[in-house]
Amino acid sequence: MELSEREVAEAAVKAGASADEIMKKMAEHKGCETNSDGGKKASCGTEAGQNDLAPEIWEKVKNHPCYSEEAHHHYARMHVAVAPACNIQCNYCNRKYDCANESRPGVVSERLTPEQAAKKVLAVASTIPQMTVLGIAGPGDPLANPEKTFKTFDLIAKTAPDIKLCLSTNGLTLPDHVDTIARYNVDHVTITVNMVDAEVGAKIYPWIFYKHKRYTGKEAAQILTDRQMQGLEMLTARGILSKINSVMIPGVNDQHLVEVNKAVKSRGAFLHNIMPLISAAEHGTVFGLTGQRGPTAQELKRLQDSCEGEMNMMRHCRQCRADAVGLLGEDRSAEFTTEKIMEMDVNYDLATRQAYQARVEEERLAVSGAKANELQILAGVESDIKILIAVATKGSGRINEHFGHAAEFQIYELSTGKGAHFIGHRRVDLYCQGGYGEEDALETVIRAIKDCHAVFVAKIGGCPKKDLLAAGIEAVDEFAHEFIEKSAITYFKRYLEGVKDGSIIHVEKGDAEIRPGEVAVDVAAVAAE
Amino acid sequence: MSLKIAASCVNCSACEPECPNEAISAADGIYVIDPAKCTECIGFHDDPQCALICPIEETCVIDNNYPRYQPAA
Ligand code: SF4
Ligand code: SF4
Ligand code: SF4
């Protein structure tokens, strides 16, 4: 770690500026002047930007695509599936199809040995220089498979010391492994915490396997929460970053998650990620079969908002597949099947990777510069109106995706107080898949973003544009390939002016659906095998 | 008797490292128990470990084809 950080800095110097200098410049650019009055906590909204975090934490998360909302546009992570076993049972998980919730959802089509996994990581890292993070998140619990998990870390740490290692766990055996985690320099651990009250936990976990015994009911939930909190405290004591994932289950733990938020914050977790339950009968999970529903988009947002004052909320998680490769949301797994990798000649080229990453830092500087300037546009404008917009993007913080190619939209809330504030993703079925312009596909998109006033795209056809408008959603393509925040604020300013002079009549929009998207599709595919 | 693994096994591998007798191994798409090695966990634990950790009910079950395991006197 020591060495690789120095090397990274050297590469950045060759590119004209040190990484630290760039980050410092970004801090100055971002400002946050709007918040410095009124004694509020210095904060640029929910972004895990350096303004919210202690410097040593920012140093660790700035290139982490899962933890830094800003970095996830530029850096990539991958997960390898080496850990299929689990030691607890969750009502939202059917072990047969891997987990549709937590951070190990979707379908892992092939299981790797630690040796195969290490080779895969090196092959991907040599091909995709943005790949800076390796996660082990399942499909079971990585700490129920400690040998496989740590063997994989060991192999990678030897060849590619610049890759950050992280793991996700249910926390049951976490206290037993914290010292090993520290030894491998794992600096990010994600714990899934759905409750801190055994009463609530008994409705989520039918049983756990702990110290050679199976526990059920409240007793099981009590052991689990005690172990999770103990593990979290031990990580904090050793300076290892911990993120908390929670699955929001309406009527079971939705209100209770505010409690969870307080409990994990007081024990030093730095990010809390609340995800919607994904539940459908065909998943064959307990919740799927009992008809337990997931939250709506507005329910999720309200809960995230009520936790926001307490702690950094992570809103860009899209419950990607446990073996996903590439930028968050951009799945390149098909290029790296085990078969292809075992044939590859991998030449791990640290220098090229570092040169590339130095260029990315410049790009990030440009993005945050654009953001700061645009906030000035709204200076002096005051309004209570807040609207949501959906953005079709491939990354780099720009509006650069065709409406018909978008598998998901980024949702921003626009207000005079916060400017353009990222609040999350909505997955949609590929509108273009299987023939262009299918009626029901478009309807799916509309249902997913019907709480938005506009959708920003790089390009869109005439027909869908008309249908969107009929649903009260304006399709905006005039900002194609421009920065998202800058365009959104320009649009919002014009919107407010229109409302003022009467040319636009502002209406509140309703709620929207959270679609399981790829998860439902993949589960069906596996069931057919 | 020994335990056996039914066809409902989802191949998750959870049972394998829990066996105190190393009786469990991966086979064709499912895991199998070697009846010559399985002691039903007698002498090690109160209950069969494989059955306790297995996520699929009724998958690690008693195999009546084998006589009851007798702990060495
Ligand atoms: S599921 Fe995806 S977005 Fe969420 S923490 Fe894991 S890698 Fe990051
Ligand atoms: S019952 Fe015990 S000894 Fe027999 S296979 Fe299962 S874990 Fe091994
Ligand atoms: S724990 Fe159960 S499902 Fe998993 S491999 Fe063993 S027998 Fe099969």
Q: Which ligand is nearest to the CA of A135?
A: 1
CA of A196 relative to ligand 2 center, distance in Å: 34
Residue A29 in domain: no
Q: A194 and A114, same structural domain?
A: yes
- Distance between CA atoms of residues B63 and B5, nearest Å: 9
Question: What is the count of structural domains for chain A?
Answer: 2
List the CATH number of the domain containing A76.
3.20.20.70
Q: Which ligand is nearest to the CA of A326?
A: 1
Domain chopping of chain B, boundaries? 2-63
Residue A287 in domain: yes
For residue B14, give how far its alpha carbon lies from the nearest alpha carbon of chain A (Å).
4
Q: A214 and A86, same structural domain?
A: yes
Residue A372 in domain: no
- Domain that includes residue A171, residue range: 35-348
Token pair, residue A135, equals 């996660």
CA atoms within 13 A on the CB side of A160: 28
Q: A321 and A404, same structural domain?
A: no
List the CATH number of the domain containing A443.
3.30.420.130
Using the atom order of ligand 2, give the atom closest to the CA of residue B18. Answer: 7
pLDDT tens digit sequence for B4-58: 999 999 888 999 999 999 999 998 888 999 999 999 999 999 999 999 999 999 9
Query: How crowded is residue A233: how many other Cβ atoms within 10 Å of its Cβ?
Result: 16
> In terms of Cα–Cα distance, which of A268, A258, A249, A134 is closest to A191?
A268
By the 8 A CB rule, do A256 and A204 touch? no
Entry pTM: 0.72
By the 8 A CB rule, do A431 and A448 touch? no
Q: What angle do CA A209, A214, A217 make, to 5 degrees?
A: 100
Q: A466 and A342, same structural domain?
A: no
Using the atom order of ligand 2, give the atom closest to the CA of residue B40. Answer: 1
Highest mean pLDDT among A191-205, A460-474, B5-19: A191-205
> In terms of Cα–Cα distance, which of A190, A187, A153 is closest to A59?
A187
Q: A411 and A301, same structural domain?
A: no
Domain boundary, last residue among A304, A332, A348: A348
Domain B2-63 class in CATH:
alpha beta
Looking at residue A314, the DSSP 8-state letter turns out to be P
Q: Which of B12, B46, B49 sits opposite A85 (nearest CB)?
A: B12
Q: Tell me, what's the pLDDT at A98?
A: 52
Crossing angle of helices A146-159 and A114-127, rounded to 10°? 40
Q: A438 and A324, same structural domain?
A: no
DSSP-assigned states of every residue in A113-144: -HHHHHHHHHHHHHH-TTEEEEEE--BS-GGG
Q: A148 and A99, same structural domain?
A: yes
Q: A213 and A86, same structural domain?
A: yes
Q: Could B13 and A89 be called an inter-chain contact, meaning their C-beta atoms sit closer than 8 Å?
A: no
Q: A277 and A402, same structural domain?
A: no
Distance of CA B56 to the CA centre of its chain: 13
Residue A18 in domain: no
- Residues ≥6 apart with Cβ < 8 Å to A140: A83, A84, A85, A86, A95, A104, B12, B14
- Distance between CA atoms of residues A257 and A196, nearest Å: 9
Q: A300 and A397, same structural domain?
A: no
Q: Give the pLDDT mean for A261-288.
A: 86
Query: How crowded is residue A305: how many other Cβ atoms within 10 Å of its Cβ?
Result: 13
Residue A81 in domain: yes
Distance of CA A124 to the CA centre of its chain: 20
By the 8 A CB rule, do A424 and A391 touch? no
Q: Tell me, what's the pLDDT at A21?
A: 37
Q: A387 and A262, same structural domain?
A: no
Answer positive or negative: Cα dihedral of A138, A140, A141, A147. negative
pLDDT tens digit sequence for A106-161: 334 467 889 999 998 888 888 777 778 888 887 789 999 999 999 999 999 988 88
Q: How confident is the model at residue A27 (pLDDT cuts 50, 70, 90)?
A: very low
Looking at residue A83, the DSSP 8-state letter turns out to be B
By the 8 A CB rule, do A149 and A142 touch? yes
Residue A67 in domain: yes
Residue A366 in domain: no
Query: How crowded is residue A484: how many other Cβ atoms within 10 Å of its Cβ?
Result: 25
pLDDT tens digit sequence for A323-381: 445 454 555 666 777 777 777 777 777 888 888 778 777 777 777 676 667 777 777 77
The helix (H) or strand (E) run that includes residue A165 is strand A164-169
Q: How confident is the model at residue A439 (pLDDT cuts 50, 70, 90)?
A: low
Q: A389 and A344, same structural domain?
A: no
By the 8 A CB rule, do A75 and A132 touch? yes
